[in-house]
Amino acid sequence: RPAKRLQLADRVADLLDSYQIYRPEMLAAWEDGRPWEGVAGHPDEAWQAELWRRLRADIAAPPRSRRHEALLARLRRDGPPRGWRARIAVLATGVLPPRFVELCEALAHHLPVGIWLTSPLPQPWGDVRSPREAGAEATGHPLVASLGRQARGWFRAIGDRPAWAAGWQWLPSPL
C-alpha cells in the first residue's frame, strides 16, 4: 500500500510539474479560484485545482511560472548577469516547450544562443509530409509524418521571432 501511494504521488507531482511548464495560465486561474477555460468542466479539474491551491498555500516560494516571468523580465531589462558565458548552447532531444523558447529568446537578445535539435531523419523535420499532405508520391511513415507536423509547427512558431533573425541551418548527421 505505501508503494502505491508513492507511485500516485510521483505521477501527480509529474503532472503538476508539466502544468508549470506547459500550462502556467491554468495554474494561475486555479490559484485565483477560477476554472481554466481549456479544461473547465473536465472531471479531473476540480480535484487538481483544489490540490494545487492547497499545495500553494503550504509553499512559501513562488511557483515556477512566476519565477520564470521574473527571470524573463530581468533578462529583458538588464541582460544576463556578469560573468555568464559569451554564448549559450542548448541541446534539445525534442521540441522545446514554449517557456524554454521564451528564455532562449530573451537570452538571444544579449548573446549568441545555439539550439541543436537532434533528429533521426536525414532531412529537416519541416520537409516531412504526411501521405495526405504529399498526395500520391508519399512514401514516408505516418508516425514520422506526425512528428514532422509537430516540428514544423514549432519551427514556424519560433521562426518569426526577432531573436532568430539569423535563421536556421540544417546540419545533416554524418552517420
Residue ranges and CATH numbers for the domains of the chain are 2-60 (1.10.10.160), 65-164 (3.40.50.10930)
pLDDT value for 137:
47
102-149 pLDDT per residue, tens: 898 888 888 888 887 776 666 665 555 555 655 544 556 666 666 666
Q: What is the pTM of this model?
A: 0.70
In the DSSP assignment, the letter for residue 116 is E
Higher-pLDDT residue of 162 and 55 is 55
40-99 pLDDT per residue, tens: 788 898 899 999 999 999 999 998 888 999 999 999 999 888 888 888 888 887 778 888
pLDDT value for 173:
60
* 8 Å CB contact between 122 and 144: no
CA 87 to chain centre: 21
Return the bridge partners of 113, or none: 88
* 8 Å CB contact between 112 and 87: yes
